[in-house]
Amino acid sequence: MSVLHDGWRDGGVDFEAIARRYARVALDAGLADAPVAVPEGPWEISLALAGDADIRPLNRKWRGRDQATDVLSFPAHDGSVQDGHSARQMPGGTPEPLGDIMLAWETVARDAVADGRPAGDHAAHLVVHGVLHLLGYDHETETEARAMEALETAVLAAAGLANPYAEPAE
């Protein structure tokens, strides 16, 4: 895990611990029915707790959107499997890279305030969302979005966090 923006260290919230915990929770929940073939573990996820200035050029390059966003995910594999194994085999015991996730501090903090949620809860949701993308879940169609949102909501509810898709209380 890389912390690239000081905002993640300010405010007394251990965002690094939150990210580690919810990445594991999301992996546990999402692996069984992952839409793509996931290589056998152990796995490794690269997570960068960055800022808007870090994420904006990547969002422009990979998604064609010239603005910061809260989270980006970059899967390391395309789900192709040959004889029950990933096309790329890692040496014995070496973690299989699942991909990279990047969160942008300013956008995460701003959205948490706008939604009336603690920043730690919002970051937890975005880590879950990012990990599920690495496992092949998506929200390009209405059906995909409903399935992914239901899984995210269930994962967060099991950890005692509120539904991130519920309308904020006034």
For the chain, the structural domain boundaries read 2-158
Rounded distance between C-alpha atoms, residue 134 and residue 123, angstroms: 17
Rounded distance between C-alpha atoms, residue 123 and residue 103, angstroms: 8
Average pLDDT of the chain? 87
pLDDT tens track for 75-103:
987 654 443 444 445 556 678 889 999 99
pLDDT tens track for 100-126:
999 999 999 999 999 999 999 999 999
Nearest to 163 by CA among 119, 121, 131, 106: 121
How long is the chain? 170
Rounded distance between C-alpha atoms, residue 75 and residue 100, angstroms: 6
The per-residue pLDDT for 82 is 40
Rounded distance between C-alpha atoms, residue 70 and residue 97, angstroms: 22
Pairing verdict, β 85-86 and 71-75: unpaired
What pTM was computed for the model? 0.88
The answer regarding whether domain 2-158 maps to CATH 3.40.390.30 reads yes
Element holding 18 (H helix, E strand)? helix 15-30
